[in-house]
Every structure is written in structure tokens, then in C-alpha cells.
Structure 1
């Protein structure tokens, strides 16, 4: 049989596959510490586990509710918005893809800061749109004036990742206000708040507040980070009704499983318990950052559940130094290393490696 050569879509060669954070090797002490994916180091809340155990025997053989009425209603009540303002997906990354597919045609532009969430350019190119990357400023923050200046008549979407992944920095409410004054009303600004639960910056904007005030704002949230449901895949957008309706049209049918829906509802009902856990992670973030800085490691103050080390060409060396101790982090070649916040013992391991990190980060 002669070999058949498939013809792939033009432009696919420019799409990079998403790189998930890799597991850590086993270190000298027998431990393997994965701090490469910004995962919550704690298990789901007990009430969530109990609810999943209750519904599991009855949820696998049937399709979930495609409208997810209970979860949509709980979110609408939580944020005091209409149910028609909510669109769900398999994690906020899938909802981001819905936004791009619903609002762009081939050749349209989607803007975002860079470096920011690694999936943005992938999702844009898969949709046939054009990614527009605007460099971060010298403090590793969104340069909103430069982003406003880069808007063209082909711009359809602007993603503002706040806090930004992987740098952990935030924009201020005043900066976002000034930016919105310059954005044409036919350009949708998406405030991606995947890490909003960890943000303690007094001047940070509330995406929901901006959604209420501007007709061209949508907000992305996820249950993957603070809620610890990364393995169940559920996220959502709060958006103008016409946008939310369009997202539901392009969504993958039944993408949010019943288990994910039930876990999300139970998580929303246990937010007081969740808040205590998040505060522990914020305290650990401060402890880890202070220890790294004290050891001479460059670390950017973060408002997320990770810390960015802008070590430039030292990124590969820093990642290797951590791997030698059984710790995986996310290295971005020539730019830096992102270290997720783990539990206290995992953070202790990173602190114990601080001297080696500093040595690896220092140009020779």
C-alpha cells in the first residue's frame, strides 16, 4: 500500500502545542515536588469530596445538563448578574477559545501582553486570527498605553490577564479605567481573572465592577486554581448577554461534566472554608518570596499563586538546579522561571535550594 500524505490546514505549522508543566524527578530525599502548573497543593474541600462521592455512581453513564442550570444559577446569585450573562466551559482556557471563535474571522487581530498566558497565541492561531503581542513594561506589568496604541481596525479582542501569568503582576483600577477610555466600543476587553482569589493589591480592579460599567467588558474565572478543581475542568465567562449567547453557540457540547458542575456548586457553598485556605497560600507566597530575595534570587512580588524569577538566560540553569533536588518549575527559555506555591514543606524545599538558584541565575 502506498503511503498517503495528509494535507494540513495552512498556517498549522505556526501553531505550537501547549506545554503542560512537567512532573518533577525524584530528588535525593526520595520526594518529587511538582511546582510547574500553578495547581492548588491541597485536596478539594471535604464538602466537595462528599458531594462527588454521592453523585459519582449516577453521573458517569449519562450526559450532563448542557445548560448547567444549578451552577449557572449559583454563579448568577454569587455575582448578582443575570443567568444569561454566564457562559461555561471546560476551564477558563476553553472559554477563552470560545471568545476567539465567536468574535473573530480569519485575519482579525487578538491582542494580549507578552509574556502572558501561554495559551493565548495558540488559541488565536488555531482560530485563524492574528495574535498581537505587546511587550510587558520594565516592571513585568501590562503596558496598557502601548496596548491601546496598538489597536487597529482589525482588533476584535484584547486579553488583560490580571494577575498576569507568569509574572504575577497586576494593573491598577485607574490604569484599566484610562485604557477603557481609549478602547473602541466594538472591541471586547477580556479581563482574565484566573488568579483573582490570591490578589491582595489594594489598587487592583474588580473585573465584575468594570463589567457592570462598560458594555465591552467580559470577565474570565476558573475553578482550577483557588478551588482546587483543575482535574475536573470548569470555568466561565461573565459577559454581555449577546456575547454569552455567542459563546454558548461555539461551545463544545457537554464539555462541563456533571461531576465538574456538582463540584463547582459545592465549592461556591463552601467559600468561607476556601478563603481560609487561600489566606494560607498567600502567606506562603510572602514567605517564599522573602526567602528567595534574601538569598539574592531576583523575584517579582506576586499577586497570584506563583512567583516569577526573571533570570533571563539563567532560566535553564535554575530549572536544572531545582530538578536536581526533585522540584519541577516552569522555565521559559531566555526569560525566567515560574515557581508555583506549594504546601509549606514543598516551599521549604525551594527555600532550601535558594542558594543554588541564586548561583544558577548569576551570569558567568
Structure 2
């Protein structure tokens, strides 16, 4: 059956409002109207991170499938791993529409979705259907806009997803929930992570951080996470900054910017994080990955794994096999036998590209 997310269908989806197109794409995936890719990744792309084996380092970032509704299809598109969410304890509609904007000329996206999702009960029910999964699955958890108690809510969600996923992510960096980024401050983050540690068991816990952190703020987050026993960081979420030269008429919209305009900022932050972490944390690099060479740059900046969102939104499932072929070629051209060999090899250099 022809996939509704095939290359031929993508131009039609792009004519729609971005959120409507996303909803249609997600429903098509949930119905199984997507290609199934053979699981035969080259051994050179395999890597082990936080005790889990990944056949390739390219994953889907949180935000695409907030409710884990399309899990069976997403897990079979050729990704090395898939992260679902962000989910909140209670359902919430998110911010008023319009709240999602394509920056076509800039290969970027601005969103101010506001953690729209159906809540933890629906999310857990959907995760429970994914016990027979071919690749690692992650859960990304956030808090409600109203009535939230982070020290209560984050542990409750981790406890609910434990046993259903291969890792979980504490999201304290979305710019679209008032006050959320304040939770990256040392005292607040430490309290959350100490509470989460009480219920996590053996589930690897990661923290997703903003690319807008100050140098001192980043150093504080790294040390706080290491002290709390966190296994890794995702660097990073969307940015509230706007780099010079954006061409899209939507560039002034409020919200978090992702895609190609985020690439340099997020990669610089990733490299700085790698140097601060000194091997104590596994890093996942996100922000502006559109080619295999982009993926390799993230890996050389210090990422063991990389994530896509905007690239997948722009190019669909056909991007995934192409990225893996390009990443293999980029590794060979750079003289690396495996992904693991390349991790962090340009970190110092890439911190100087701010």
C-alpha cells in the first residue's frame, strides 16, 4: 500500500496548515500507512549508550508523537530509537492556535504548542501496546501549565512509565510552558532529580536542556545531573533566540525555533557540554540534523546519539535510510571505522564556532 507519508504525498501535506498536516501524518502512521524498513543496519553504525544497544544512532525526537499513538509504525521506519511525549500528568489542550509555523525558506519550524497531549493515562495505555519493540523507546515527561508540583509530578510520571520504556527524559526546557525553564536552576533541578531517583529503579534517566543556557548555567546543570545519578543529557530543546538572516515571514512568531537555524547554536552547546561532562554523561545531540554529515558533526561534538524533528517533518520517512547511507560515507571519509570512534573528536574545535 502506498504510504501517505511518501515523497509524493509530502508536497500535498505542505500545502496544509502545519498542525493539520502533522495531525494527518500522525493518523496515517497510527493506521499503518507507512513504509516498513528492513532492520539490517551496518555494524559500524551500532553503539551502546546508557546500557542499551542501538543499531544506529539516529532517533526521532519527542514532540512528534506526544501520546505514543503511532508507536508501532514509528518503531519500524528505520530509526535507531524513538522518543515519545512530552506527556503531562493531566490532559491539556495546549496554547491557542495557530501555534506551529513552517519557516520554509530557512528549513526551520517555530512552535508554541504548550504540551498539548491526552495525559498520562492515555499515554501509558499506548505504551503498554509496544512491549514487542524492535528498537529502544523513550518517554519524555513534562508538567501541566496549571496546578503543577514538579517534585510530585515528575516522579509520578517516571514511576508510571517504568517498565514500559527503555529510558525516560525529564523535560525542563520547553519554552512554551511558563516557568518550566526555571527548573534548570540548580536547587529546583536537584530537588526534582532526587525525587525521581527514589522511584526510577534501573530505568535510565536523562534531562533535556535548552540551548540558551549561559555557560555558568550549563556547568551547574551538568554537575547537578552527575551528582544525582542522571545517565545523560539531550542537547537541546528549541531556542527562543533568533539568529540573524532568517528569511521566512514567520520568523518573528513567538515560540521555540528548531531546524537548520538551530544547528550552530545547538552543536556549540553540545560540544561545551561534552567537555564539561568529561565522559560522565551520555549525550544526545538534537537541532538541525538534515544530512549524514550533520549527524557526524553532532557525534564529533560529543553526541553518542542524535535526534531529528524538523528534518523528519520536512522530508518524511525517506530521510532516514538516506541519513544512514550518508553517515556511513561521512564516517569513511573522516577515517572512522565506527560511530563510537568519532564521539567527541572535534569537541574542542566546535566550542570555538559560537
TM bin, normalised by shorter chain, reads: 0.3 to 0.5
In the superposition, the TM-score normalised over structure 1's length comes to 0.34
In the superposition, the TM-score normalised over structure 2's length comes to 0.35
Q: Quick one: higher RCO (CA 8 Å, sep 6+), 1 or 2?
A: 1
